[in-house]
């Protein structure tokens, strides 16, 4: 199993831009993809698999400055502002395309959950190749 801790993802609303009546990937999305690629390479991941994969994502929202105070009444961090979980899913799956797998249609098992807030936020992705 491979696991990467990535930067907090951009919103899907910022992932796509309209250009001459066509939807294109935004510069922000390209920068996020480059970040994912750099993290993967620094973790020894060099080539995507052509096999089916199982994918798991944990979205960890940005920890607010008053987190230690909030934690007393909200120990799970559910009141912390966070991207919609399904928006982070699309960005994460697209960003791993060409890095973990060739095409996102290879994802045959998918899990996502919201984790505890961390400083700066994060998206933790894990995948395993299914034979």
Among 5-14, 39-48, 50-59, 71-80, name the one with the lowest average pLDDT.
71-80
Rounded Cα distance between 64 and 70, Å, is 9
- The answer to whether 48 and 102 are in contact (CB under 8 A) is yes
Check residue 5 and give its pLDDT.
Answer: 96
The pTM is what?
0.84
72-130 pLDDT, tens digit each: 777 777 777 777 788 888 888 999 999 999 999 999 999 999 998 899 999 999 999 99
Q: Which residues contact 34 (CB under 8 A, 6 or more apart)?
A: none
Check residue 4 and give its pLDDT.
Answer: 95
The answer regarding whether domain 2-129 maps to CATH 3.30.1330.70 reads yes
- The answer to whether 71 and 127 are in contact (CB under 8 A) is no
């Amino acid at each position: 199993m491979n696991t990467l801790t990535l930067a907090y993802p951009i919103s899907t609303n910022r992932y796509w831009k309209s250009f001459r009546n066509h939807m294109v990937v935004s510069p922000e999305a390209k920068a996020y993809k480059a970040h994912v690629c750099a993290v993967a390479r620094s973790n020894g991941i060099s080539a995507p698999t052509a096999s089916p994969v199982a994918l798991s994502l944990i979205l960890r929202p940005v920890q607010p400055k008053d987190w230690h105070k909030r934690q007393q009444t909200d120990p799970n961090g559910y009141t912390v502002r966070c991207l919609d979980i399904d928006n982070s899913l699309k960005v994460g799956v697209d960003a791993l395309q060409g890095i973990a797998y060739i095409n996102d249609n290879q994802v045959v098992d998918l899990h996502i959950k919201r984790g505890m807030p961390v400083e700066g936020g994060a998206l933790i992705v894990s995948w395993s190749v299914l034979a």
